Amino acid sequence: MPKLRHIIVIIILAGALWHFYGETFQQHGAAGVYEEIRSDANALIENPHITAAIDTINQEFQLLKGRLTDIQQESQQKKENAVERPQLDEPTEQSFSVGNAEIGDDRSEVENLAGKPKRSTMNEYGTDWHTYHENYHNFFMVAYDDQDQVAGIYTNQDMLTSTKGISYESSRESVLAELGEPLKAIRKGLVNYQIQNEQEYDVFLIENNYVTIFYDKHENNTVTAIQIISGELEKQKTSYFADPDQSLKEGFEYQLFDLTNAARVNHGLTVLNWEEPLRKTARDHSTDMAVNHYFSHTNPEGQSPFDRMAEDAISFRIAGENLAAGQSSSIFAHEGLMNSLGHRENKLKKEYEALAVGVSFDNESKPFFTENYLTK
């Protein structure tokens, strides 16, 4: 039966061709038919009415595709929003806790509450950040010392509790009123490293822990994140920039990706996928900036981010790029970008679907960060 159907289709097509081009075939042969078909096709393409109709169909198709994508994202977001926030208790041993974890807690205690980490990557302190979350809800990161006790904690979500009345609703003014004057510098060996924060964050020494509280300039300077590093862990970092290697490069890349997704969840947005082929484009640009001592979206050859993506055969419908340089970690790079309106808009752009991050270091160990976003 399938063979018979094919024969019938061929007969119908042959009859249609003979109806329109039989006379031409008799006069000029197959070559004449080919030329007439090509001429008719070109006339259709050049006809402004046909062109307009094709453009309209294409626009309607893109609108339909966009609507279907929005529906899919909304459905996914509803599922993600179903994640419950855990019961957060006031800390018992320290002034601050994050996700009910405090400096000095055993790893087993943390993981009894939060489960196993979703990712573990090298940080600037020579240890790993272990990320805990449920599809980027209830997100926090923990660093452990050699005894598997908490030596560092970070979150950019409402996972903070404090004996000092500080929460994610606290303003910078109220934080300073409660904690007093922040540090002006941190000493590393014989060098004092000045803290130049432009009021985007403050560092306090509390209970021999270095507590960095970050503020959101676009949300009335309220608390947006907190990092707590034990005094012992801070001592392990002997200079402002860590010694770079492949593990630290990959650590910074994945951390910046995770931090971005945690921020998107805070703002009711879907999480982004990691776009592995795009990492090369991002890394190459970071390396180019580090080696050639410049900081720009346009490289010395005049290429834009979109030119670089096209050169690497990366296809996209929309795309964007964020750059940062000179921050000591992915955390400080992320928080700085969130306080810069244009970069914040990229991180929180509803239409984006994927992200890759590329990091490189210059000859003074200063990191360069490139975030490339896209939607296919």
Burial class (CB in 10 A: 0-12, 13-18, 19+), 275: buried
Find the helix packing angle between 330-338 and 246-266, rounded to 10°: 30
b (16+ CB within 10 A) / e for 9-20: eeeeeeeeeeee
**Tokens encoding 227:** 């990092």
Q: Collapsing DSSP states into helix, strand and coil, what is residue 85?
A: coil
Q: What tens digit of pLDDT does each residue of 40-84 get? A: 666 655 666 655 655 656 665 566 666 655 555 555 555 545 689
pLDDT of 66: 60
Question: Residue 152 has which token pair?
Answer: 């560092």
Residue 334 structure tokens: 């992320």
- For residues 294 and 81, give the distance between their C-alpha atoms in angstroms, rounded to a whole number: 42
Q: Are 369 and 256 in contact (CB under 8 A)?
A: yes
CA 297 to chain centre: 17
Quote the DSSP letter at residue 219: G
- Tell me how far the alpha carbon of residue 152 is from its chain's centroid: 22
| Separation of alpha carbons 108 and 105, rounded Å | 8
| Residue type (1 letter), 67 | R
Query: Can you state the percent helix, strand and coil of the chain, rounding each to 5?
Result: 45, 25, 30
- All residue ranges of the chain with pLDDT < 70 are 1-22, 24-27, 29-34, 36-82
Pick from 274, 267, 270, 252: nearest CA to 331: 252
Close Cβ partners of 208 (under 8 Å, ≥ 6 residues apart): 230, 231
Please give the helix or strand (H or E) that residue 285 lies within, else none: helix 276-292
Q: Token digits for 36?
A: 């007439």
What is the Cα–Cα distance from 32 to 309, expressed in whole angstroms? 45
355 Cβ partners below 8 Å, 6+ apart? 257, 260, 272, 273, 274, 275, 278, 371, 372, 373, 374
Alpha helices in 47-185 (DSSP H): 48-80, 107-114, 172-179
Cβ burial of 162 (10 Å; 0-12, 13-18, 19+) is buried
